[in-house]
């Protein structure tokens, strides 16, 4: 996917979405993979600190390497092992539990489907957002290519209408934004939700 320009198209899309242009300080990239979402936000919010979490140590190392390539200061970046089923529990050298209302932005991209309890994972992620902060989920869409890629990667996704309902029930104002950059637009949609 990276060779097809997927990462670059996600990064470009994140630079274009309209979220309040505030001086966000604390960002969480959950299930970060190679770090494309968190690093894009790090470039946009230059005074922020970003916590990258993933279950795969090799992906966390790739995210760290990508940050170096982008010349993002290492002192702004933190990395921890976490399973999407329990996204508040982070391990590195010590185990910590993330506290509610800690982050200005909690972002994720097509990883919630791997949770053993998707509803609880979404509620946990939403609880980590500060008032007036944002939850950004660049999720698999329900179009032909989205379904095809989900099947290939054995990614069972909760119906998008249920995700939308859950976000609203947890006190967020939700905007669904179609991903417009190619090739990401073939498989992804984006939810931007502000905590009221």
Q: Provide mean pLDDT across the span 64-71.
A: 96
All domains of the chain in start order, with CATH: 2-13+24-195 (3.40.50.150)
Q: Provide mean pLDDT across the span 147-157.
A: 94
With b for 16 or more beta-carbon neighbours within 10 A and e for fewer, the 7-19 pattern comes to bbbbbebbeebeb
Task: Enter the pTM of the model.
Answer: 0.95
Residue 109 · residue 14 · CB < 8 Å: no
Cα–Cα separations (whole angstroms), residue 13 to 23, 89, 95: 20, 29, 34
- Residue 57: the pLDDT is 95
Chain-wide mean pLDDT for the chain? Answer: 93
pLDDT at 6 over 60: yes
- Residue 3: the pLDDT is 45
Distance CA 154, CA 8 (A): 24
């Amino acid at each position: 996917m990276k060779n097809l320009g997927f990462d670059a198209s996600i990064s470009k899309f994140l630079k274009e979405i309209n979220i309040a242009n505030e001086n966000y300080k604390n960002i969480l990239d959950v299930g970060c993979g190679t770090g494309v979402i968190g690093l894009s936000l790090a470039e946009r919010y230059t005074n922020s600190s970003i916590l990258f979490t993933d279950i795969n140590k090799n992906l966390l190392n790739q995210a760290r390497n990508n940050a170096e390539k982008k010349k993002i200061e290492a002192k702004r970046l933190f990395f921890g092992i976490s399973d999407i089923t329990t996204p508040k529990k982070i391990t590195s050298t010590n185990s910590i539990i993330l506290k509610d209302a800690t982050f200005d932005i909690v972002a994720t991209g097509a990883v919630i489907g791997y949770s053993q309890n998707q509803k609880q994972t979404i509620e946990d992620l939403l609880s980590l957002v500060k008032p007036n902060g944002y939850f950004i989920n660049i999720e698999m869409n329900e179009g032909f290519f989205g379904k095809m890629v989900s099947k290939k990667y054995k990614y069972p996704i909760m119906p998008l209408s249920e995700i939308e309902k859950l976000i609203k029930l947890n006190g967020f104002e939700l905007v669904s934004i179609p991903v417009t950059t190619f090739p990401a637009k073939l498989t992804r949609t984006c939810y931007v939700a502000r905590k009221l």
